[in-house]
Chains A and B, each alone.
Chain A
Amino acid sequence: MKRAVIYFLLGLVFVYCLFPFLWTILTALKPQEEVFKLPIRYLPERISLENLKSVFYKRPFARYILNSLLVAGGATLFTLWAASLIAFHLRKMEIERSLKIQRWLLIMAIVPPALLVIPVFMAMKKLELVNHYLGLILPYVALNLPFAIWMLHAAFRQLPKELDEAAMLDGFSSLRILLGIILPLSRPALAVAAVLVFIFCWNEFILALTLMPSQMRYTVPVGIAMLSGTSVYEIPWGEINAAVALTTVPVILLMGLFQRWIMEGLTRGAVKG
């Protein structure tokens, strides 16, 4: 009986959390005329890839994906690279001081990007980096760095300090200790941080909208948001849903693959931080 209740609730949670996503997939697979058919049918009568195709043929969606991959990938690499160096250094400090530093970093992380966009835009314009991949990568790194440091630091601190000391006695340099010992031992944390930072960058909207205003520089979310306005004229809902499905499926796959570690990493970060 109790189990039945639990699984009923689980089913409810499942429907609640996944319904929008599933609905998008279902709409994306409907042929054009069925999307706008009343009364609504929940399952497509005929599965069609027409919408998925036209996203690529009629619009530069492949280009948007490339832009997103470049920016999110580049930002992830930069972030992890910097975060592991910083976290490694924090590990050597007294705990009080490193916490103080992290607290300051955290304050930066808390500010909603919508409040940063104007100053960042002005800075990037001065640097002539508007419409340039680097102009978006740099703010992404800045936004994600505190979080990445936080997660990596939590992982690094679990390793016994004796490890470093022993390596030091063997004549290892700091960099070699980091690269040869600490990082390989914290691989799960690295992977989780990478996945999460990548997802954050892949999802980010307002900076991408503002810092890369040229259409050939749109990232996927911006490209999708621009597919329609609030006008009542005919909106290509079939294509929009196809594009949404294409953007969200990789995220869900990543989450599924790294599920265990992500949950662990997130809750550990929260407890420890």
Chain B
Amino acid sequence: MMKGLGFLTFVCVLFLVFPIPVSSQVVLRMIGPEDLGGAWTEIVGRFHERNPEIRIRYIPGPWSTDQRQDMYIRSFMSGDPYELVYMDVIWTAKFAEKGWLLPLEEWFPPEKQEAFLPGDIEAGHYKGRFYRAPVRSDAGVLYYRKDLIPNPPRTWREFEEICRKYSNPPERYGIVFQGMQYEGLVCNYLEYLWGAGGSVLDEKGKVHLETQENIMALEFMKKIIDEDWAPKSVITFQEQHSLEFFEKGKALMMRNWPYAWKILNDSPLRGNIGMASFIRRPGKESASTLGGWGLGIARANKHPQAAGRFIEFVTSPEAQKILHFKRGAVPSRKSLFTDEEILKESPHYRDLYEVLSRARPRPVHPDYPRISSILQKHVSAVLVGIMSPEEASRGMSRSLGGLLKGRREGWLKRLTLDSDLHRTMKNTVLFTFLSVPSEFFLGLLMALFIHLPFRGRNFGRLTVLIPWALPTAVMAMTWQWMFNNPFGVINDVLMRAGFLRAPFDWLATPGGAMFAALFADIWKTTPFVIIILLAGLQSIPKELEESLSLDGAGPFKRFFHLTLPMLTPFIRVAVIFRMIHAAGIFDLIWVLTKGGPADSTRTLCLYLYDLAFRYDEIGYSLFLTFLFLAALILMSFAITRGLTLRYERIGR
């Protein structure tokens, strides 16, 4: 035994000094989306051929761009960032403001910047320095059915006429766009706002939203839904939904990104699709929201030169062509829009160039994530009909003004003002009070059942324990798959049993997502209740039960007069323990719904985590954590009191 322990200690010490393997080659890492089509593999391969001393590690990350942004932020905060930062336009300001990025003028002096589209270059600047070299460009465009409408609308008025004349809901609507509450909604909304002649910030950087233009933009968006020019369900649409809807021929027009072109031209609609600039108010200028991706260099990085060389290569015409042909990415270099090879395959690039050269970036601000979330909430409220356009324009103007003015109120005052906090607290309380009682009753039933003497009881106990032992975050993926629409098994089972007539999109509707989270949580944590209650059941002396039943007490009487009173301390432990953990839930929801849709499942811990790792407000986050912890610790005192009393009774 002595030897065994010595060995264990040795192993432990080994862990203490376990080194991180170091490679002699220069290794640069970047995170991007899954490399479908193999464009990045080819680019990296060609770069390796020419620069054998550098290794690029392209890490395929999650599809969700928010999640990739979080990965970058966490890595910056850890002090060991991914060297190459592949970023969305809207990340630049924040990353630059935090000092995480290295300016790129050394590799991209102003004369070189001129070769790129002006919007992309503008979006790469922050406070006069250049941080992000554009790799692929993107901008909102209006697709229309050439075979159904003679000319694409240029103004809101022409748009109305076309919709009145040619649309025929529910068979064929006028337009589909992205109306769900997420970043895409902001892109859509800004195109109406700009098209009305408005803007989010004025030239001095002040909020400029309590304006006639803003009200008109919101009114017009609302009108599109009210008049049935767009389907009502458009408020749950993201890009892919709109595309599928349009592809089925159910709409005359669609607002989407250029990637849709290739897909539409591989569909039966081939040849009938046109592309145009987005609509505007008569006499104003049309503008598209700029999207797109670019590369920057992390400041805490030992090999900026190597990284710079890679970025130069990725933004070269050669690499952009690979991205174009293998992935359908729109180039950011002006010259490629007249490139014969590209035009032969994509003749629409001539039109696209027009749109791109008029694309405008979203507000460049380090607090953009919060700005966007405020805009999303208000626009969505208008579309759903909870707010009038006037109310919304006043509301967004005030919230934004408050955010941008002094960044913060005092923490205590913020407690009353922070609408995210209130929302997440409400969700947390709702979640806790729906899940704990269900777990308790289910657990009690199952514990009583498993406690019955029958052959195979041990097998039953093992079965019941299993959900508890499986990793929550991992099983959340399974639940996501099971609640999937249309491939999920839960819809299938419900439809076969006759409970559902059509598949239900559980994770995309607020109520459905909450239900899914509750269901998964109850499944996962009921075993914990069972363990505790089983311990309680085992502590009840058999003789008592026998003597009661000899006295002629039936099973119900025995349960209420003996079992339940004896179980009470255990019930208290189980319930309070579960309440604390339900209130502190993170893993399951983070993986299953990410708090969505529209924050309907976002609980307090998700908010605290976002505050620290996305909004960069560690102080406030810790303050809230402290309050929350204090409340929970008070509760735990209650638990342990109960436990000790119990213990003393048995122990003596």
Q: Mark A74-114, 1 if CB is under 8 A from B, else 0.
A: 10011001000000000000010001000100110011111
Interface centre among B15, B605, B639, B650 (most CB of A within 10 A): B15
**Contact B463–A17 (Cβ < 8 Å):** yes
- Nearest A residue to B581, CB-CB: A112
Contacts of A132 in B (CB 8 A): 18, 20
Contacting pair B1 A184 (CB below 8 A): yes
Q: What are the residues of chain A within 8 A of B583 when measuring CB–CB?
A: 112
Q: A213-B75, A248-B471 are in contact. Are A131 and B489 (CB under 8 A)?
A: no
CB-based contact B593/A251 at 8 Å: no
Task: Kindly identify, within residues 579 to 604 of chain B, every residue whose CB is under 8 Å from any CB belonging to chain A.
Answer: 580-581, 583-587, 590-591, 593-594, 596
Given A35-B487, A244-B474: A183 in contact with B643 (beta carbons within 8 A) = no
6 A-B pairs whose Cβ atoms sit less than 8 Å apart in the complex? A18-B466, A77-B15, A81-B12, A115-B584, A125-B79, A230-B507
A240 within 8 Å of B (CB atoms)? yes
Q: Does B238 contact A (CB under 8 A)?
A: yes
Q: B608 near A95 (CB under 8 angstroms)?
A: no
Q: A103–B474 contact, CB under 8 A?
A: no
A54 at the interface (CB under 8 A from B): no
Contact with B along A243-273 (1 / 0, CB 8 A): 1100110011011100110110011101111
A232, B487: Cβ atoms under 8 Å?
no
Question: How many A-B residue pairs lie within 8 Å, measured between CB atoms?
Answer: 305
Nearest CB to that of B613 among chain A residues? A210
- Cβ-defined contact, A251 with B471, below 8 A: yes
Query: Count of A residues near B, CB < 8 Å?
Result: 105
Q: Which residue on A lies nearest to B15, using beta carbons?
A: A74
Write out the residue numbers on chain A whose beta carbons fall within 8 Å of the beta carbon of B637: 107
Q: Do the beta carbons of A115 and B474 come within 8 Å of each other? A: no
- Specify which of B470, B628, B633 is in contact with A248 (CB 8 Å cutoff): B470
Is B644 within 8 A of A115, CB to CB?
A: no
Q: Which residues of B from 489 to 543 have beta carbons under 8 Å from A?
A: 489, 492, 507, 523, 527, 531-532, 534-536, 538-539
**Chain A binding surface, main DSSP class:** helix
- Closest residue to A267 on the B side, CB-wise? B535
**Chain B's nearest CB lies how many Å from the CB of A60?**
9
Contact of A244 among B458, B477, B534 (CB under 8 A): B477
Residues of A within 8 A of B18 (CB): 70, 132-134
Q: Tell yes or no: B38 within 8 A of A by CB.
A: no
Q: For the complex, is B22 an interface residue (Cβ under 8 Å from A)?
A: no
Bound complex: CA A222 to CA B586 (Å): 13
A139 at the interface (CB under 8 A from B): no
Cα-based distance from A240 to B487 in the complex (angstroms): 14
For residue B114, give the distance in angstroms from its CB to the closest CB of chain A: 34
Contact of A171 with B by CB under 8 A: no
Q: What 1/0 flags go to B469-483 for Cβ under 8 Å of A? A: 111111111111110
What residues on B are CB-neighbors of A125 within 8 Å? Answer: 77-79
> Are the C-beta atoms of A230 and B594 separated by less than 8 Å?
yes
Q: Using a CB–CB distance below 8 Å, which chain A residues touch chain B?
A: 3, 6-7, 9-10, 13-14, 16-18, 20-21, 23-24, 27, 35-36, 38-40, 42, 59, 70, 74, 77-78, 81, 95, 99, 103, 106-107, 110-115, 117-119, 121-122, 125, 128, 130-134, 137, 176, 179-180, 183-184, 199, 202-203, 205-206, 209-210, 213-215, 220-222, 224-237, 240-241, 243-244, 247-248, 251-252, 254-256, 259-260, 262-263, 266-268, 270-273
Q: Whole-angstrom distance between the alpha carbons of A232 and B178 in the complex?
A: 13
Query: Which chain A residues lie closer than 8 Å to B538 at the CB level?
Result: 267, 271
Complex Cα distance, B471 from A220, in Å, reads 10
Tell me the smallest distance from the CB of B641 to a CB of chain A, in Å: 9
Contact (Cβ within 8 A) A13 B78: no
B79 pairs with A270, CB closer than 8 A: no
Whether B471 contacts A229 by the Cβ 8 Å rule is no
Quote the shortest CB–CB distance from A62 to chain B (angstroms).
15
**Neighbouring A residues of B15 by C-beta, 8 Å:** 70, 74, 77-78, 133-134, 137
Residue among A35, A226, A272 with the most chain B CB within 10 A?
Answer: A226
The answer to whether A13 touches B472, judged by C-beta atoms less than 8 angstroms apart, is no
Interface pairs A-B: 9 shortest CB-CB = A229-B64, A112-B584, A203-B471, A114-B586, A205-B473, A231-B63, A270-B535, A267-B535, A229-B62
